[in-house]
Amino acid sequence: MLTAIERGYWEPGSRMPGESALASEFQVSRNSIREVMKSLAFFGIVEPRPGNGTFLSPNALRNIHNTELVKLISGRSSLIELMEVRLLIEAQAAYWASERATKETISELEAILKEDELLPEPDVDLHARFHDTIVKLSGNKLLIQLYNSIRAEISIQRKKFKEWPIEDRRKFSLEHAEILDKIKNKDPKGARDLMQEHIMDSLWKILENGKAPAPSGLDPQE
């Protein structure tokens, strides 16, 4: 999609083809096109207009050139780098969320976990809301902005988790409950450490499934 836009396949400001047409053009599913369009919209490359369709932004080329992250959407190295950045952002967010927790913020997290418990199997989208909420509850505007800048890539990454066995996804739910306990008990270091372990566990499972070598500096025994 990015290559087509850069090569002038569509004119800036023009209406984009619908999901079905794009899926046929690129020989992928409509769900894949939907996720890509969400990412492009996040970076201001396309503009959804309810009732009228989706349009290529007049500033699409400039936004592509100014946003290097969109070029890292796929590829094993970018996946590892993304997980490393998540370790920095989300572990610290859990620390601050624990320090600054209130009854209201704890209730917000509890409601997400409760909703997940009532479903027949763990919901990856609810897991995403749990992580998003912890970052929001950190109260650090710059941290939140940094997280939002990679949120589209994280969303694409999480699609992998939907294909994982229910047991693995249930383990994620249990780990979320443990992180929440640390936040409720005002244990910032504990919350940070558990969030780091939680993200690392996801990374190692991804690497294991892909049979790829572990990135240097990330030793599962440490």
Residue 208 pLDDT: 67
Residue 17 pLDDT: 94
Delineate the domains of the chain, giving CATH numbers in brackets. 2-66 (1.10.10.10), 75-210 (1.20.120.530)
3-state SS assignment for residue 189: helix
3-state SS assignment for residue 47: strand
Residue 64 pLDDT: 79
Task: Give which of 150, 5, 1 is closest to 72, Cα–Cα.
Answer: 150
Residue 68 pLDDT: 56
Q: What is the pTM of this model?
A: 0.62
pLDDT one digit per residue (tens) for the chain, 222 residues: 888 898 899 999 999 999 999 999 999 999 889 888 888 887 788 999 999 999 999 988 887 776 555 555 444 446 778 888 899 999 999 999 999 989 998 999 999 999 998 888 888 888 999 999 999 999 999 999 888 878 877 877 777 777 778 888 888 899 999 999 999 999 999 999 999 999 998 877 776 665 444 444 444 444
Maximum alpha-carbon separation in the chain: 55
DSSP 61-119: HHHHHH-GGGGGSSSHHHHHHHHHHHHHHHHHHHHHHHHT--HHHHHHHHHHHHHHHTS
Strand partners, 55: 15, 47
- The C-alpha atoms of residue 150 and residue 155 are separated, in whole angstroms, by 9
